[in-house]
Amino acid sequence: MTLPLFRQDAYCHTATGTVTAHTDEGGIILDQSLFYATGGGQPGDSGALRWPGGEIEIATCLKREGETLILVPAAPAPLPPVGQAVTQTLDWGRRLGHMRVHTALHLLSVVVPLPVSGGAISADKGRLDFDMPEAPDDKAALENALNDLVARDLAVSESWIDDDELRANPGLVKTMSVMPPMGSGKVRLVRIGSDDDQVDLQPCGGTHVRRTGEIGPLRLGKIEKKGAQNRRIYLHLA
């Protein structure tokens, strides 16, 4: 099991760790990881590991069975030995971009209140696929509504419920094709706004900004037809 430091503080971009194992494919397993593992449409983090006498660039992070996270080197290179203490450093600009886009996509699901059938995140843009037979009538109105939510500088926070509570509240799940991870006994909820200002609450394991104002201006891009019942909407950080 790898302790997910990104869950404790998504803004932490340097930390120590100890190598606990190598994989047969040349991956590195640490006792605790700053690196977010690919999942939920969000890419794994990149960055570097450094130790006395060595360093290695990390291309991404993947999740193995259970809670084990594997750091994937960008190129073949000598690995830090098992038991070695290392310093982890994220590509912070890329991670922050993922955080801004991920929170923005939650807001997109607010202004387009339809079931979501897929999505993807990069450092400067993202997209959601909606169960939407017809394209929106007024794209400019959607963009304005999205930027209004950003400008309100709403707080973004988290809480936890157990699996049974989620089953009893299926309306929390907006995604049609992917259920939130269950089985560990608890599910993380991401809330945007609070009390009377709350605009969104949904299960999510990704990293997010602390307030919507940190997202900055957004621009809606293409709206593509992806089937009889689906429309793909792109958004871009301005």
Average pLDDT over residues 9-38: 97
* Chain segment 182-221, per-residue pLDDT in tens: 556 688 999 999 988 999 999 999 999 999 999 999 999 9
How far is Cα 48 from Cα 89, in angstroms, rounded to an integer? 5
pLDDT bin (cut points 50, 70, 90) of residue 181 is: low
Q: What is the mean pLDDT of residues 168-183?
A: 65
Angstrom distance (rounded) from CA 47 to CA 133? 41
pLDDT bucket at 47, cuts 50 / 70 / 90: very high
May I ask the CATH architecture of the domain 3-90? Beta Barrel (2.40)
- How many Cα atoms occupy the beta-carbon half-sphere of 235 within 13 Å? 34
Instruction: Specify burial of residue 132 (Cβ count, 10 A radius: 0-12, 13-18, 19+).
Output: buried
Q: Is it the case that residue 27 has pLDDT exceeding 60?
A: yes
* Residue 65 DSSP code: S
Sheet with 187-192: strands ordered across: 156-161, 187-192, 200-203
Confidence of residue 137 (pLDDT cuts 50, 70, 90): confident
Q: What is the pLDDT of residue 78?
A: 96
Spatial separation of the C-alpha atoms in residues 101 and 115, rounded to whole Å? 19
Distance linking the first and last C-alpha atoms of the chain: 38
CB–CB of 190/204 below 8 Å?
A: yes
Contact 31, 68 (CB under 8 A): no
pLDDT at residue 150 greater than cutoff 60: yes
Q: Which residues of the chain form CATH 3.30.980.10?
A: 95-237
What confidence score (pLDDT) does residue 179 get?
56
**For position 228, what pLDDT does the model report?**
84
Please tell me the predicted confidence (pLDDT) of residue 23: 96
> CATH code for 95-237?
3.30.980.10
The per-residue pLDDT for 112 is 96
Asked if 31 and 49 count as a contact pair (C-beta separation under 8 A), the reply is no
Q: Which residue has the higher pLDDT, 172 or 17?
A: 17
What's the mean pLDDT in 119-132? 96
Confidence band (pLDDT; 50, 70, 90) for 143? very high
pLDDT at 175 over 90: no
Domain with CATH 2.40.30.130 in the chain: 3-90
Q: Give percent above pLDDT 90 in the chain.
A: 80
How many Cβ atoms from other residues are within 10 Å of residue 193's Cβ?
18
Residue 104, sorted as left (phi over 0), alpha (psi -120 to 50) or beta, turns out to be alpha
Q: How far apart are CA 85 and CA 59, in angstroms?
A: 20
pLDDT at 173: 76
* Mean pLDDT score of the chain: 93
- Render pLDDT for 59-110 as a digit per residue (tens, 0 to 9): 999 998 778 999 999 999 999 999 999 999 999 999 999 999 999 999 999 9
